[in-house]
Amino acid sequence: MFPHRPPAAPLRCHAPSRAGKALAFATLTLVAACDLSVDPATLGGTGGSGAAATGGQGGAPSCPGTGTECEDFGSSQVRLYLAGGEVNGTPVGPGAQRVTLVAGQPLAGSVVVTVKNDFASSNVVPLMLTPSWGEHLSAARQLQPTVTSTDYTVALTGLTAPAVPGAYTIIFAAAPTCSYCHIASRTSWYACVQYPECNHCAQCVDNHCEADCMLWNDGHDLADLEVEQMCNALETGYLSLPQWTGETTQCVEYGLTYLEVEVVP
């Protein structure tokens, strides 16, 4: 399903419940992407190769741990890579994705995210970031309403390190969907457009993050991902994840990269 296609006729008013989403996700066991017992081929191969990303010889790639195939976008894909930058005086880039901050310290500097987007220009592919701390709905940011294959410089001003020391992340992601809200909440755009009378996100140009088709802070937002689930994305440029469709879950590839943030007293 592509977000530029017209929505299906509404069937009924359907505002999915938190319990329904939790039950659907409870049937999945998301394998840590860095689990050495997992065949790397099932996680998408190496970044930029395209074979595993487009299904290779075995159809659409599987969602790790689910046994289900991802939505097949044919030859289209979006990939994200951390190309460089400097955060609070610490250089970041390939192989150097960790910064150390003092609790409560404002972030300064910027990072360069390389995007490789093979989707047609008619497809909406938002670029966003979300820190793993804070309230997920308000913390998520749209960086670009849709992207092309180029480098994007992302300023990190306005973010502040958590008050509690620990290990955190800042996740950058892109996917073919209506808005950054869908990516951050891991909600399919179709969950919204098929029931337009229930909410106000039937138009892809709108970012109605509080629409009742989206569920936040339920343990299955993008910000809930652990480093162990994401680290292969530093090489592959993407991660296969289940998302909520309004009725059940569906595996989708998210172009994804991230920064690790270690917060000290």
C-beta separation of 77 from 118 below 8 A = yes
Q: Is 232 exposed, middle or buried (0-12, 13-18, 19+ CB in 10 A)?
A: buried
Question: What pLDDT sits at residue 210?
Answer: 60
Closest CA to 1 of 149, 119, 80: 119
Q: Is the pLDDT of residue 98 over 70?
A: yes
Q: Name the H helices within the chain.
A: 18-26, 136-139, 180-185, 190-193, 227-230, 233-236
Quick: pLDDT tens for 129-159.
999 999 888 899 999 989 999 999 999 999 9
Looking at the predicted structure, is the pLDDT value of residue 81 above 80?
yes
Q: What is the pLDDT of residue 73?
A: 52
Tokens of 202: 């039937």
Which pLDDT does position 259 carry in this prediction?
96
Q: How far is CA 87 from CA 80, 97, 110, 165, 207, in A?
A: 18, 10, 6, 18, 28
H/E stretch holding 216 reads: none
| Cβ–Cβ < 8 Å for 84, 14 | no
pLDDT at 117: 94
Asked if pLDDT for residue 9 goes beyond 50, the answer is no
Q: What would the pLDDT profile of 231-259 be if each residue is shown by its tens digit? A: 888 888 999 888 877 777 778 889 999 99
Q: Residue 96: pLDDT band by 50, 70, 90 thresholds? A: very high
**Is 62's pLDDT higher than 60?**
no
* Structure confidence by residue, pLDDT tens digits, 168-215: 999 999 998 878 888 998 888 776 655 554 444 444 444 556 656 677
CB–CB of 223/171 below 8 Å?
yes
Segment 102-115, tens digit of pLDDT: 999 999 999 999 99
Give the largest Cα separation in the chain, rounded.
54
Question: Is 170 within 8 Å of 156 (Cβ atoms)?
Answer: yes
Instruction: Tell me the average pLDDT of the chain.
Output: 73
Span 52-63, average pLDDT: 30
Q: Where are the domains of the chain?
A: 71-224+237-264
Residue 15: what pLDDT? 39
Give 205-224 pLDDT, tens digit per residue. Answer: 445 566 566 777 878 899 99
Its sign, for the CA torsion 220, 169, 127, 201, is: positive
User: What percentage of the chain has pLDDT greater than the value 70?
Assistant: 63
